[in-house]
Structure 1
Amino acid sequence: MPELPEVEIIRRELLLPLLGERIVDLEIDDKKIQIHSMDILNKVITDLIRKGKYLFLIFNDSSSLLFHMGMTGSLIYTKAKENLRFQRARITLSQGFISFCDARRFGKIKYLTENEREKVMESLGFDPLLSEYSWNNFEKLLINKTLPVKNFLMNQAWITGIGNIYASEILFLSKIHPEKRMKELTVQERKSLFDSIPLILNQAIICEGTTIRDYQHTNGSSGFFQNCLQVYDREGKPCLVCGTPIVRIKMAQRSTYFCPRCQKI
């Protein structure tokens, strides 16, 4: 599933090619996508912004298209018109094409007015790569939290953009057991967690994202952060720090990976 790093990579790759482009045509290949040509036709793209896992394509009248990749979604930019595998929608630009491809069809595109976009962004938690992510704001989030730290990281209303892969990697770097309760974290562990979140996400961006099954760049190529994963999907393999076999457990019906020696509860 594309998480914050993968969506940020898509944003960076598309920003310059899309700026100043005019929407010429819209083709919908999936009736689940309910956007209309009349909402976006002839509008000019002025920006492409991200919060968490959401991308917002901004137009010259301040309206926008929201893109959420779901589990298998991707945005592919091509100079020539191509019929791509799992294509659900295609936007024709004055120069080039953007295709939204999604094998499992959990991703979405939605047209938003400026006010609607602001409400969506306000509903999301702090983005670890934006200035709103500060120690003071982070400390406020921790007040009266009693749930396991892994569940805290996955809650998009508190910190947005972290999914299952990066939650496991963040906790390994922080040396925190995923089942440890938030109220039990020491001051040192809280600071380590605060520092580890953007560090792991930025490392993944440098490595062009994690491709385990479906994620691909806007040109169809893969990322390589999967080669740098310390615990995720490494059940039974030796910890790269201490050699102890990595353990997998289920939390909130999701696989969670950790080292029982480096991450004692």
Structure 2
Amino acid sequence: MPELPEVETIAKGLHQAIAGKRIKEVKAIFPGIVRQNFRIFKKTIIQKEIKGVRRRGKYLLIDLSEGKTILTHLGMTGGFLFINLPNSPPKVSVRRPPQSRLNSKHDHLIFRFCESNAGLCYNDQRKFGKIKVFNTTEEKNIPELKKLGLEALEISSSEFIRIFKNRKGRIKSALLNQQIIAGLGNIYTDESLFEANIHPAQKMNLLKASKLKDLHKAIRKVLNKAIKAGGSSIENYSDIDGRMGRFQLHHKVYGREGEFCKRCGRKIKRIKINQRSSYFCPKCQPLKDA
């Protein structure tokens, strides 16, 4: 599932590519990806100008003129591709080599813009993503958004410590809870915990404030590096021009079970925490009982 760095990369790319453009039409190959009446969705966004694109947690928000906002969650395999559309139906010609094109049989929505033949394709192999439009003024009341915690890149060190200190449960589970902190997923929790030398199954009430401060710093460091690298391409993730992310080349623990730790040479292990795989180094990230 795309996490904060991947969604941030897509948001920045979309903002640069489509801000200022006006939506001419939207074609649905699989209308079910729109989680409301498609005709109403289409009528609401047609002829609206795109004012900007931003991110909230793992959600993309596309702000339109006349006080409308499109909400998108990419699910497990969703993604956007900025394309050139011919005048005929969308057999797309992309701005990059055809062999790196997302599989077109999983294209579900195609937005056409008034300016030239520019278009935007939403592609989602597993169809777990969602798209809907709402009144921008109602953003704080949108169910998907109102329950989100503080942004992982915006929370202060003192607030981070206050939230996690003396909390019950395992640190990995809490970091994945979007109602506590928004944007983190399996990849970046594992990488951040390694950076801070904290075992993913560590009980939070045994973590000192100084260790939580280290973790806060590690999260910011890992996320910013990942954003700079365009995210991590696990399976089919790419940016809006089809470029793969590069941060997977710098993973220290995630997906490296049985490989040697780049810091100490011990083998990376994998355990399950609440049914989620967690990768860690047993030497660099010892589990403390007291």
- 1:26 correspondence with 2:26: yes
Q: What is the number of equivalent residue pairs in this alignment?
A: 263
| Cα separation, 2, equivalents of 1:263 and 1:88 | 43
Alignment of 1:92-241 (within 5 A): 92-95=112-115, 96-120=118-142, 121-130=145-154, 133-241=155-263
Unaligned regions of 5+ residues in structure 2, if any? 92-103
1:20-42 Cα offsets, whole Å, 9 max, x none, are 11110011111312342111011
Residue in 1 that maps onto 2:6: 6
Give the one of 61, 67, 73 matched to 2:66.
Answer: 61
| Cα separation, 2, equivalents of 1:186 and 1:143 | 7
SS of the residue aligned with 2:31?
coil
8 A Cα contact 2:160 2:212, kept in partner: no
- 1:90 correspondence with 2:95: no
Residue in 2 that maps onto 1:46: 51
| Cα separation, 2, equivalents of 1:85 and 1:225 | 28
Residue in 1 that maps onto 2:83: 78
| Structure of higher CA gyration radius | 2
| Cα separation, 1, equivalents of 2:236 and 2:51 | 29
Shift of 1:143: 4.9
1:70-116 Cα offsets, whole Å, 9 max, x none, are 00000101133544341011111123111110000001111111243
| Cα separation, 1, equivalents of 2:9 and 2:209 | 33
Identity between Structure 1 and Structure 2 (%): 36
Shift of 1:260: 0.4
1:225-246 Cα offsets, whole Å, 9 max, x none, are 1110000111111111001110
SS of the residue aligned with 1:61?
helix
| Cα separation, 2, equivalents of 1:17 and 1:258 | 38
Query: Could you tell me the TM-score, scaled by structure 1's length?
Result: 0.95
| Cα separation, 2, equivalents of 1:112 and 1:198 | 31
| Cα separation, 2, equivalents of 1:262 and 1:144 | 23
Unaligned regions of 5+ residues in structure 1, if any? none
Q: Given residue 164 of structure 1, which amino acid in structure 2 is its aligned partner?
A: N
| Cα separation, 1, equivalents of 2:227 and 2:215 | 19
> Following TM superposition, where does structure 1 have runs of at least 4 consecutive aligned residues deviating by more than 3 angstroms?
none
| Cα separation, 2, equivalents of 1:94 and 1:147 | 52
Q: CA RMSD in A?
A: 1.4
1:159-216 Cα offsets, whole Å, 9 max, x none, are 1111111111010001000001111101221001111111111111111111120101
Q: Given residue 26 of structure 1, which amino acid in structure 2 is its aligned partner?
A: V
